[in-house]
Amino acid sequence: MSMQKEELLQLLHDPDVCREIFEIVRHGGKPVVQAKAPVPAASSEKTVAAKSKPAEKPSKDVHNKAYLDQDRIAALKDRVRNAIARKNSEQANDEDVAAIPEQEPALEFPAAEPEGLAVEEPKSAISADSGNLSSKLQLLRNRVQQDGEKQDIPSGYQPAGSASQEKYTIVLERKCPVCEQETRVVKCKSRMVAETKDLDLCVHYKGINPYLYTVWTCEHCGFAAEESKFLAYMPNKTREKLKEFLESVDMTMEFKEERSAADAISLCEMAILYSELTDNSPNRQAGLHLKIAWICRYIGEKEKERRSMQRAAELYALSLETERYPVGKMSDNTALYLTGVLYFMLNQLDEATKHLSRIIGDQSLRVSAPKIYEKARDIWQDIKEMRKASKAVEDAKS
């Protein structure tokens, strides 16, 4: 029933009526509270008793918003899962294999070849060029198996296999992490007498060179790795891929209790190849190259020692940029020190200064790592003196 104009105007003067009209408009025409409209004096219409308010149902907009939020959450979860999958496929696991990783690292084909091997540039997967990889490993295996002439050794050093050698090594049986068969390995005892230590932490022991036995190898399948990695946890996916590959090539190795320097170098190069296939850790590979340099230092092979030191310095520098420390038992301060001191020994003073100054600039290392701090400071001071002397010579010539 339509109202007269005067009645409508009278209603609009009532604040309660205006409030109710506003609420009805705001809720899309659905009244939330039904208020009694005051009856004007001139009207003869009967008032209608107010009914109780019915329970309000959620609108379609509310439902649509809830569904939209759920869709957004699901989409975000998918994006996170895809990003994790891409990251795991592009990068090898940067954690120590001794800890069980959440995602098993995928095998990758080695990005670099060991020194002295002229082979094609490797591709990105084992299956892409398995013949190339097997030829590298078999060449190294053959070097170890050959009974060539022993390297010359410095005076005062007892050759492997001598009566003195028996006091320092022991033959053990350990399970191979790949083929899971028991294999014999040679381990150095802890009763070794250290005589001197070089700047790059190479220790010279009396009567034995323990770096010859850094790498353990399986006589059944040919897998090679440092003792800590040989005994560490290996993810099932990595084991199966390595096992499948090694079963397709003949990598059986005759057990040799006595090792020459040439044997040890070839085994270290094999361990580098396997590292590039599994964890691809620059820190680990740098350590193996450094062990090769130390072995060469014992036997006086200066040129190969220098090449191995150069490669170790480059890999340690790469590790500091790409890996999370500590890596195994090595801290970032030790890696910084080794990088700087290797460049110093190679007479690359700018690179040496860049890395050693990071140690000297951290005053907290005076307390937390005083030996490293003092050594770095001494070398840094030597570099300053060398530059002063070089400048004085140039000034004298001009």
pLDDT digits over 207-220, tens only? 889 999 999 999 99
Mean pLDDT over the full length of the chain = 76
Q: Would you say residue 157 has pLDDT above 70?
A: no
Residue 149 resides in a domain = yes
Q: pLDDT grade, residue 245 (50/70/90)?
A: confident
Query: Whole-angstrom Cα distance, residue 284 to residue 272?
Result: 8
Residue numbers of the domain that contains 285: 130-302
**Given this model, what pLDDT does residue 36 score?**
45
- CA 148-154-160 angle, to 5 degrees, is 50
Contacting residues for 89 by C-beta, under 8 A, at least 6 apart:
106
| Three-state secondary-structure class, residue 81 | helix
Q: Last residue of a domain, which of 238, 267, 302?
A: 302
What are the residues whose beta carbons fall under 8 Å from the beta carbon of 165, sequence distance 6 or more? 158, 159, 207, 208, 258
255 with 368, same domain: the answer is no
What percent of the chain has pLDDT above 70? 62
The mean per-residue pLDDT over the stretch 281-285 comes to 97
Mean pLDDT calculated for residue range 282-309: 97
Say what the pTM is. 0.65
Whether residue 159 is found in the same domain as residue 250: yes
pLDDT digits (tens, 9 = 90+) for 29-48: 554 444 444 444 444 444 44
Model pLDDT, residue 395: 85
Q: Judge if 191 and 260 occupy the same domain.
A: yes
Tens of pLDDT, residue by residue over 48-80, are: 444 444 445 544 444 444 444 555 555 555 555
Task: Burial-class residue 1 by CB neighbours within 10 Å (0-12, 13-18, 19+).
Answer: exposed
Q: 99 or 253: which carries more pLDDT confidence?
A: 253
pLDDT at 189 over 90: no
**b/e burial code for range 75-110 (CB count within 10 A of at least 16 → b):** eeeeeeeeeeeeebeeebbbbbbeeebeebbbbbbb
In this structure, the answer to whether residues 149 and 15 fall within a common structural domain is no
Amino acid found at 331: S
The answer to whether residue 109 sits within a structural domain is: no
Q: Which residue has the higher pLDDT, 124 or 257?
A: 257
**What is the number of structural domains in the chain?**
3
Residue 77 lies in a domain: no
Q: Calculate Rg over the CA atoms of the chain.
A: 38
User: 322: Cβ–Cβ under 8 A, 6 or more apart, which residues?
Assistant: 94, 282
250 and 349 inside one domain: no
Long-range contacts of 90-93 (CB under 8 A, 24+ apart): 92/278, 92/279, 92/280, 92/281, 93/279
Does 122 reside within a domain? no
SS3 content of the chain, % helix, strand, coil (to 5): 50, 5, 40
- pLDDT over 90, % of the chain: 48
**Average pLDDT over every residue of 194-202:** 95
pLDDT at 267: 96
Domain contains 14: yes
> Which of residues 236, 269, 302 is at a domain's end?
302
Task: Let me know whether 245 and 181 are in one domain.
Answer: yes
Q: What angle do CA 272, 277, 282 make, to 5 degrees?
A: 55
Residue ending a domain, among 302, 334, 349, is 302
**In the block, which residue shows the tokens 């060029």?**
129
